[in-house]
Amino acid sequence: MSTRLFTKGRLAAVIIVAILLVDQAIKVWVKTHMSLHESIHVFDWFYISFIENNGMAFGMQLGSKIVLSLFRVAAIGVLTYYIYRQVRKPGVRVLYIVLLSMVLAGAAGNLIDCMFYGLLFNESSPYYVSYFVDFGTGYAPFLMGKVVDMFYFPLIVSTWPDWMPVVGGHDFVFFSPVFNFADASISVAVVLLLLFCRGELSHITLKE
């Protein structure tokens, strides 16, 4: 293997491992230091708010938990194979490898929650802080754990004008989803892929 190809592969591995370590460190700290729904005020536009969800990124729900977890496993497997192929191909831009690795790491970070958190932790509660338990004696079986979210950015908090139909007089929060580091990694990478790697995306294939 040439030095150039080795460098691309090593870079992808370093990015994936680094994102996973940061993501899991944040999640474990939140899980073991905050009660469910507890919120820490950092700035008026930034809170650490501990929630858990069964669904997709940013707390969205999509189908059954087991189906979603199995879909994640399959998607991560396909993306891993695709990145491996891209690393081996000459002429592939480093930026493309970096952004694909960010997507893979983010997806894997949330999958780790689903795979192991139910086996490692007791059930989270608003009344106490969760803690580690003997492996396999936690709150959920394999692939059924909940994803930990914590970043909340209510950039604009206001009220809809009374004259507006349906929503008039109701509270309005611009960017209300609560998300985690893995979600952020995926979102940033996807946006940058669409902006700067449209050529590569238009020729996606798992073949050489």
Tokens 């989270």 belong to which residue? Answer: 124
Matching residue, tokens 């949330």: 110
Please indicate whether residue 183 is annotated as part of the active site: yes
> Residue 64, SS3?
coil
The single-letter code of the amino acid at 12 is: A
Pair 116, 140: CB distance under 8 Å? no
Q: What is the sign, positive or negative, of the torsion defined by CA atoms of 100, 102, 106, 111?
A: positive
Q: How many residues does the chain have?
A: 208
The token duo for 178 is: 């609560």
φ/ψ of 101, rounded to 5, equals -65, -35
Beta bridge partners of 35: 129
Alpha-carbon gap, residue 16 to 104, rounded angstroms: 7
DSSP 52: E
Q: Is 23 labeled as catalytic in the residue annotation?
A: no
DSSP state of 54: S
Which one is catalytic: 44, 113, 134, 149? Answer: 149
Catalytic (active-site) positions = 149, 183
